[in-house]
Chain A
Amino acid sequence: MSKQSYLKNFLKYKYLLVELVTKNIKLKYRRSYLGILWTLVEPLLQMLVLTLVFGVFFGKDDPQYPVYILTGRLLFGFFSSATKSGLKAVSSNASMIKKVYVPKYIYVVSSVLSNFITFLISLVDLVCVAAVLKVKPTIYLLEAVIPLLILFIFTIGFSLILSTLNVFFRDIEYIWSVFTMLLMYASAIFYEPQRLINTGNDWIFNFNPIFMCITNFRNAVLYGKPMELQYFAVSSVIAVVSLVAGVILFYKEQDKFILHV
């Protein structure tokens, strides 16, 4: 297929993308009493627990500590839930893939996109908590968009890679869940990066695009500082590389999916 017909094909199935994103969001909370409100309640409750554990029991007295936790937990939560569902996007739609022709990347993109939309909704929490704790917005707030965009691209790339691998090796799902846990502890979500750097382990951060995005997001939202240019550069490169790798791998292997799912 030429570039033009890829685009034509995408436009033909654009409405399917919309339908799948709606389906994922609708069904996630169907038959729950609070419905989509859970998107707002869940991170708030988690923030309260973490604030209680680390703030009260471990004696952190920064009044804006809940905002610190919430930023980290929201961004990381998006990455982990999006890759988790993106990873299964191809294998869980096996019955469709075997029967009707549909560009298969639509399944992966739609599952990441629906997670991104619930993530954007949950940012309402952040606005409220920040307002209550009197975090002052600055001009750098505008820069908050950049790390989110980088994180989104990175997540799409990784989901394409993971969903392809998961078709051939079902263990990827379990390996990935252990890996995300590791990544969570390496992303300074509820501790300050300085504590890790003090132990001489700052190399962990230098390979971790999630941490870089979280840091730049915090700079924009919480600290009112310009973003760390080095983090911006490194995380963009990693994001683009993983997207390109994901697209290449997915396109190379997608015709074999039907034989394995």
Chain B
Amino acid sequence: MQKDIAIRVKNMGIRFNLSRERVDNLKEYMIKFLRRDLKYNEFWALKEITFDIKQGERLGVLGLNGSGKSTLLKAVSGVLKPSEGSIHTNGVIAPLLELGAGFSPEYTGRENIYLYGAVLGYSKSFLDEKFDEIVDFSGLGEFIEVPVKNYSSGMKARLGFSIATVVEPDILILDEVLSVGDKKFRIKSENKIMSMFDKGVTVLFVSHSLEQVMRLCDKAIILDSGRLVAKGSVEKVGRIYKNMTE
């Protein structure tokens, strides 16, 4: 892969086997197996997706609900494995997806910083060093010693955002998370993301709001029922998307 490519997706497809009814216990499975009744509906959430993102580019992914946007993000962040084709990424990825979902409720904020940091692949020494910065940015103050189960959803999201953005990522994956916490924190987090933009981070941004994508991205693609229907500059793709949705 060339050095200046941050993400390369090639002929990538993801297939789900949707069973008509959910079979998750042994008895049903045995009965259906014996009656040869185990039928699956093959469903391609994504098919033949090919695109490159160069370093420093900001790609917006547009599409209606169920078009495969989130599946694409999961595939790029490594959570889902492609059924065919390939995805290559170059550099440290910071996925800002469903912030704070990985917290342990019984753990205090402090303990969760280390736990969640470890989940994101940070080392202990790195977290020790960045601990104060994370707490500062989250604005949680003394609440950092309180179990996370007593946090409000805004506080959780603030802590999650602060942990996930403490690295200097090469690739930032955003899923409409720019609306974190109260207005004060929202401005703070937008500023943080903007400063990453200035440093030349590569961005993969998913949204169904054309306005947001036009504001943040320079390139865009459109997904429709799992197919890539348009790619190019954000102006060109934006026009197509407008025609599609109107």
**A/B pair count, beta carbons within 8 Å:** 71
- The answer to whether A27 and B104 touch across the interface, beta carbons within 8 angstroms, is yes
Question: Which residue of the partner chain, among A15, A27, A30, A101, contacts B79 with CB atoms under 8 Å?
Answer: A101
What mask results when residues 147 to 161 of chain B are scored 1 for a CB within 8 Å of chain A, else 0?
000000000000000
Contact residues on A (Cβ < 8 Å of other chain), bracket? 20 to 34
Residue of A nearest to B115 (CB): A19
List chain A residues, Cβ under 8 A from B123: 15
Report if B240 contacts A (CB, 8 A). no
Interface of B is mostly: loop
Q: Which residue of A lies closest to B122 (CB)?
A: A15
Residue of B nearest to A259 (CB): B16
CA–CA, A76 to B107, complex, Å?
A: 30
Could you say which residues of chain A place their CB within 8 Å of the CB of B55? none
Q: Chain A: which residue is nearest B123 at the CB level?
A: A15
| Known A12-B121, A101-B78, A259-B16; contact A96-B24, beta-carbon cutoff 8 A | no
Question: For residues 174 through 216 of chain A, which have their beta carbon under 8 Å from a beta carbon of chain B?
Answer: 175
Q: Is the CB of B101 within 8 A of A27?
A: no
The smallest C-beta distance from A47 to any residue of chain B, in angstroms, reads: 30
B34 close to A (CB within 8 Å): no
CA distance A102 to B104 in the complex (A): 16
Beta-carbon contact of A172 and B119 below 8 Å: no
Interface string of B116-154 (1 = CB under 8 A from A): 001111111000000000000000000000000000000
Contact A99 B115 (CB under 8 A): no
Query: CA–CA, A153 to B78, complex, Å?
Result: 29
Q: Which of B1-9, B25-33, B200-208, B226-234 contacts A (4 or more CB under 8 A)?
A: B25-33
Q: In the bound complex, do residue A259 and residue B17 qualify as a contact, i.e. CB atoms below 8 Å apart?
A: yes
B79–A100 touching, CB < 8 Å: yes
B102 lies within 8 A of A27 (CB): no
Asked if residues A168 and B24 are in contact (CB atoms below 8 Å), the reply is yes
> Known: A95-B101, A96-B119. Is A255-B81 also a contact (CB below 8 A)?
yes
Q: CA–CA, A96 to B114, complex, Å?
A: 15
Roughly how many angstroms separate A18 CA and B122 CA in the complex, as a whole number? 12
Cβ contact within 8 Å between A23 and B98: no
Pick the residue among A19, A20, A169, A259 that contacts B29 (CB under 8 A). A169
CA distance A260 to B78 in the complex (A): 17
Contact A169/B77 with A16-B119, A16-B121 known, Cβ cut-off 8 Å: no
- The interface bits of chain A over 225-261 (1 if a CB of B lies within 8 angstroms of the residue's CB, else 0) are 0000000000000000000000000000001001110
The verdict on B244 contacting chain A, using a C-beta distance below 8 Å, is no
Given contacts A169-B25, A171-B26, A259-B16, contact A95 B118 (CB under 8 A): no
By Cβ-Cβ distance, the 5 closest A-B pairs, closest first, are: A101-B78, A16-B118, A19-B118, A255-B81, A169-B26
Which residues of B approach A to under 8 Å, CB–CB?
16-17, 24-27, 29, 74, 77-81, 95, 97-98, 101-102, 104, 106-107, 111, 114-115, 118-124
- Contact sample, A vs B, 27 pairs, CB 8 Å cutoff: A13-B118, A15-B122, A15-B123, A16-B118, A18-B118, A18-B124, A19-B118, A23-B104, A27-B104, A27-B107, A95-B102, A96-B101, A96-B102, A98-B74, A99-B97, A99-B102, A100-B95, A101-B78, A102-B121, A168-B24, A169-B25, A170-B24, A170-B25, A171-B27, A175-B26, A255-B81, A260-B24
